[in-house]
């Protein structure tokens, strides 16, 4: 690599460049601390809530045998990642996402959560206040049956 690619002092100033270099070095050390003895890294891979929600919805749609233990774990996960806004985001602590919220809400209903449960009521209000399922992408709207009363 050329010296130009490594030199930040000319473009951001020597003081800022020093802070930048220290930050890069700190991040590098932090990442290297996670490296396994044979040189590889392992990190948890977590999808947004739509993947487990769709798994539940598809299983019920296909009338597959219910794995109650797995569904209980998925329900706990969905409740845990529900946002303060009442719905579900696509990224950790992210903004409300209509499609993710509709999918997670209906997955919890399929698992057996009561529509009167506090987390379900918060979700329903979040979805309704943003235009109900009519404002979500078509696949999620199909799950809701495109019916306003489906969110009850």
Shared domain for 59 and 97, answered yes or no, is yes
Domain check: are 124 and 65 in the same one? Answer: yes
**Segments forming the whole domain that contains residue 25:** 3-33
User: pTM of the entire structure?
Assistant: 0.65
Q: Are 96 and 89 in contact (CB under 8 A)?
A: yes
Number of domains in the chain: 2
Per-residue pLDDT of the chain (152 residues; tens, 9 = 90+): 445 555 555 566 667 888 999 999 999 999 999 999 999 988 877 789 999 999 999 999 999 999 999 999 999 999 999 999 999 999 888 999 999 999 999 999 999 999 999 999 999 999 999 986 665 665 555 555 544 455 55
Q: What is the CATH number of the domain that holds 127?
A: 1.50.10.20
End-to-end CA distance of the chain: 60
Same domain for 98 and 62: yes
Residue whose tokens read 């919890």: 108
- Report the alpha-carbon distance of residue 68 to residue 59 in Å, rounded: 12
Specify the pLDDT at position 2: 47
- Are residues 110 and 66 located together in one domain of the fold? yes
82 shares its domain with 13:
no
Residue from 52, 123, 117 nearest 85 by CA: 123
């Amino acid at each position: 690599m050329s010296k130009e690619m490594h030199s930040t002092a000319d473009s951001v100033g020597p003081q800022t460049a020093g802070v930048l270099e220290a930050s890069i070095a700190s991040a590098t050390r932090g990442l290297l601390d996670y490296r396994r003895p044979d040189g590889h890294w392992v990190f948890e891979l977590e999808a947004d809530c739509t993947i487990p929600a769709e798994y539940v919805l598809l299983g019920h749609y296909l009338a597959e045998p219910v794995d109650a233990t797995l569904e209980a774990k998925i329900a706990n996960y969905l409740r845990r990642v529900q946002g303060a806004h009442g719905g579900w985001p696509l990224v950790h602590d992210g903004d409300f996402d209509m499609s993710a919220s509709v999918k997670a809400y209906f997955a919890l209903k399929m698992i057996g959560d009561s529509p009167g449960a506090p987390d379900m009521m918060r979700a329903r209000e979040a979805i309704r206040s943003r235009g109900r399922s009519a404002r979500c992408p078509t696949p999620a709207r199909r799950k809701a049956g495109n019916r306003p009363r489906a969110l009850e």
